[in-house]
Chains A and B, each alone.
Chain A
Amino acid sequence: GAVVSQHPSWVICKSGTSVKIECRSLDFQATTMFWYRQFPKQSLMLMATSNEGSKATYEQGVEKDKFLINHASLTLSTLTVTSAHPEDSSFYICSATRRGDSHEQYFGPGTRLTVT
């Protein structure tokens, strides 16, 4: 159990367009979802934390108007990169915690975004 999926697994978009990435918990209800960004050969940097039905909490330095996060249900969170630029190209990873076990996060496989 505790499987998290992401869609798409990779996406290429043109500069100036927006792209949406979905994160789903397949077999559990996710009380909290996290979005991370991973640069090549570097660690994961937390971008934001979202709880179902409430606004996301963004980490310092992350533009909330550029990275829109919606957590509409207990199994789905979306990250929309608005007006994407080449510097937004990265590997985006989501994770989720399930009710009663907030210490363990279950990670999705990641989405590779390339902005041309």
Chain B
Amino acid sequence: GDSVTQMEGPVTLSEEAFLTINCTYTATGYPSLFWYVQYPGEGLQLLLKATKADDKGSNKGFEATYRKETTSFHLEKGSVQVSDSAVYFCALSGSDDKIIFGKGTRLHILP
């Protein structure tokens, strides 16, 4: 079945560092891909999405490109802030519109 694999955390970085969180997927067909963010004590928020190959999703300085050839959707940000500390979930949505989540990556940004 469909699945999402993302790098395990926690990831700890200093403020203004470059961030990459790896995500790969397996799926039949052409899924939509998402990154969700969960801030402490809050629910999930959609961070960005891409619906077809080579699409780039971007929001709040974060970017991810839908790479069909490598079945990847890595999350990147050029300069992280303390306020980016959260748990990040990579996810896909297939033909049945159900969302499959990765296990989440906890990110800590140190001032």
A105 and B104 within 8 A (CB): no
- Cα-based distance from A104 to B102 in the complex (angstroms): 17
Chain B residues whose CB sits within 8 angstroms of the CB of A11 once the complex forms: none
Chain A residues whose CB sits within 8 angstroms of the CB of B103 once the complex forms: 42-43
Q: A103-B93, A104-B49 are in contact. Are A43 and B104 (CB under 8 A)?
A: yes
Verify if B62 is at the interface (C-beta below 8 Å from A): no
A9 CB to closest chain B CB, in angstroms? 9
Chain A residues whose CB sits within 8 angstroms of the CB of B36 once the complex forms: 107
- Cα-based distance from A58 to B103 in the complex (angstroms): 21
Chain A residues whose CB sits within 8 angstroms of the CB of B45 once the complex forms: 107
Verify if A97 is at the interface (C-beta below 8 Å from B): yes
- Cα-based distance from A65 to B36 in the complex (angstroms): 31
How many A-B contacts if CB must be within 8 Å?
43
Chain A residues whose CB sits within 8 angstroms of the CB of B43 once the complex forms: 4, 6, 93, 107-110
Q: A32-B97, A44-B89, A109-B43 are in contact. Are A103 and B51 (CB under 8 A)?
A: yes
B44 and A43 within 8 A (CB): no
Verify if B82 is at the interface (C-beta below 8 Å from A): no
B30 CB to closest chain A CB, in angstroms? 12
* Contact count band on A: 20 to 34
B104 and A103 within 8 A (CB): no
Find the A residue at minimum CB distance from B104: A43
Chain A residues whose CB sits within 8 angstroms of the CB of B101 once the complex forms: 43-44
Which residues does B use to contact A, with CB under 8 Å?
32, 36, 42-46, 49, 51, 89, 93, 97-99, 101-104, 106
Could you give 21 example pairs across A and B, Cβ below 8 Å?
Answer: A6-B43, A32-B97, A42-B104, A43-B89, A43-B101, A43-B102, A43-B104, A44-B44, A44-B89, A44-B101, A46-B98, A49-B98, A93-B43, A97-B97, A103-B32, A103-B51, A105-B99, A107-B44, A108-B43, A109-B42, A110-B43
Which residues does A use to contact B, with CB under 8 Å?
4, 6, 32, 34, 41-44, 46, 49, 93, 95, 97, 102-110
